[in-house]
Amino acid sequence: MKNLIKKCSLAVGLLALCAAVITGCKSEPDYKTVRQEVMDLHDKVMGDGEKAVKNRMVLDTFARVKLKELKQIKPDLDTAEEKNKINLLIAKLSKADDNMMDWMHGFQPDIEGKSNAEAVKYFQGEMTKIKKLDNEYKHALDESDAYLKKFNLKPTSQEAKHDHSKH
């Protein structure tokens, strides 16, 4: 009986050791997979960039033209305060666009001379950066959309909203 207990204990120990070795030997992802994930998110964020341009155009037109007309209808409207809000929103949208352009100019999809592990690390770092840009666009677009909605304004061609929760 003691011999059987020893054998069972040894078998359980070997199974635990095998499980630890297998778990510790996770293979690293292929850099092409990580790079594609970065490119997919980039494409989605570029759509946000297009929406940001449209929102900026509507905000600019509203500040230059429509705000004066609205003052006629609503004399208590503080146009100076509204222009400040609009300028802040335009600045946030422009900053997101500028940051996207900076990222795109620095992005290096060619990994020549790098090992798979180095390339994976690089693209994971780029994923972190593009997620930050995605978040920056999301906030700027949410704020500008809310402002536009307050005055019943819409960009000429309203695109479907991107689902930012997917990344």
**pLDDT tens for each residue of 103-144:** 999 999 998 999 999 999 999 999 999 999 999 999 999 999
d(CA 1, CA 41) in angstroms, rounded, equals 61
Task: State the Cα angle at 73 between 68 and 78, rounded to 5°.
Answer: 55
9 part of a folded domain: no
- Residue-wise pLDDT for 40-95, tens only, equals 999 999 999 999 999 999 999 999 989 888 888 889 999 999 999 999 999 999 99
pLDDT higher than 50, residue 24: no
117 part of a folded domain: yes
14 part of a folded domain: no
pLDDT higher than 90, residue 15: no
19 part of a folded domain: no
85 part of a folded domain: yes
Which domain covers residue 46, as residue numbers? 29-166
**Mean predicted confidence (pLDDT) in 144-159:** 83
d(CA 130, CA 142) in angstroms, rounded, equals 18
16 part of a folded domain: no
Encoded tokens for 93: 């949208």
Task: Tally the domains of the chain.
Answer: 1
Cβ neighbourhood burial of 28 (10 Å; 0-12, 13-18, 19+): exposed
The 10 Å Cβ neighbour count of residue 98 is 10
The pTM of this model reads: 0.76
**Mean predicted confidence (pLDDT) in 1-18:** 55
> 138 vs 26, which has greater pLDDT?
138
15 part of a folded domain: no
Residues 6+ apart with CB under 8 A from 48: 96, 134, 137, 138, 141, 162
The single-letter code of the amino acid at 113 is: G
2 part of a folded domain: no
pLDDT higher than 50, residue 21: no
pLDDT at 160: 44
